[in-house]
Structure 1
Amino acid sequence: MGRLRDLAAEDNSDTGIDMSPLIDCVFILLIFFIVTTTFVEETGVEVDKPQAASSVRLEKTSILIALTDKGEVVYGGREIGVSGVQPLVKRMLQKEEVPVIIQADTAAQSGLLVRIIDEAKLAGAVKVSIASRQSKS
């Protein structure tokens, strides 16, 4: 009779699934996705870019400066003005040699666009590009 009592006691024991390996796997996947995700940097304003047949994709790491139709020069969601372009580009180029991409609105003044390009080049930028939409052919 002692044997039956031992078997019955084992059946009543709490059998469950160990969740710690599953939680470890979830955390490892989370870390993997965080590390491998690339974040797209935007200027913070909506700009109507002109179309160009010769447009190509540039590198993901770049300095994005926006020029709105109202003449505002925007970087990272805040207005920096034309005078803020040169110090910004100098500071960014100290970390890494990256291209400067200007997202100019189609209605923006060309004189202001030329001043921004000039300020970026005076700051030491070797590669200054103007963003455009690829034309639909």
Structure 2
Amino acid sequence: MKRKKHTSADDEAQIDMTPMLDIVFIMLIFFIVTTSFVKEKGLDVNRPDNNNPQTNQPSKSLSIRIDAQGVITMGGREVDIRRVVANAQTFLAENNTDSAAIQADEDTEHGIVVEVMNQVKIAGIEKVSVLVKS
């Protein structure tokens, strides 16, 4: 009978991976349980509700133009800054809207634009937007 000769491959020790996997899973559970979630601070955004039915009628808004010399035009007519409130109220009586769009020239003084915005708000229009050249 021939004897088997032991090779070095048979004598190698094998490493049991089960305890290491147990430790990894325990650490994973520990980190999941101890993690705290912090709500980041930021600005609240008012998004429109999706529950509101969309109307097919476009919303008509008050259009105001201010040129570089400060001349205010509403509805195709030139208007004095003191008459913006009256004209805006007339527009509100004729149209069901809650918004106004002010288109000012880039050379217009800021004070005139702000005064027109204030006059429109006094007239009862809460949503005022300023159009810019893009």
Task: Output the TM-score relative to the length of structure 1.
Answer: 0.51
Percent identity reads 28
Moved more, 125-134 or 90-99: 90-99
Shift of 1:61: 1.3
Structure 1 unmatched ranges of 5 or more: 1-58
Q: How many residues align?
A: 76
> Structure 1 residue 102: deviation in Å?
0.4
Asked if 1:130 is matched to 2:124, the reply is no
Q: Which runs of 4+ in 1 moved over 2 A?
A: none
Structure 1: how far apart are the matches of 2:121 and 2:100? 9
1:121 to 2:132 alignment: no
Displacement, 1:116? 0.2
Structure whose alpha-carbon radius of gyration is higher: 2
Distance 1:105 1:60, change over 3 A: farther
Q: Separation in 2 of the partners of 1:96 and 1:60?
A: 8
RMSD: 1.5
In structure 2, the gaps of 5 or more residues are 1-57
**Map of 1:104 onto structure 2:** 104
CA shift for structure 1 position 60: 5.2
Q: Deviations over 1:20-54 (max 9, x none)?
A: xxxxxxxxxxxxxxxxxxxxxxxxxxxxxxxxxxx
Task: Point out which structure has higher relative CO (alpha carbons under 8 A, 6+ apart).
Answer: 1
- Give the aligned residue type for 1:92: F
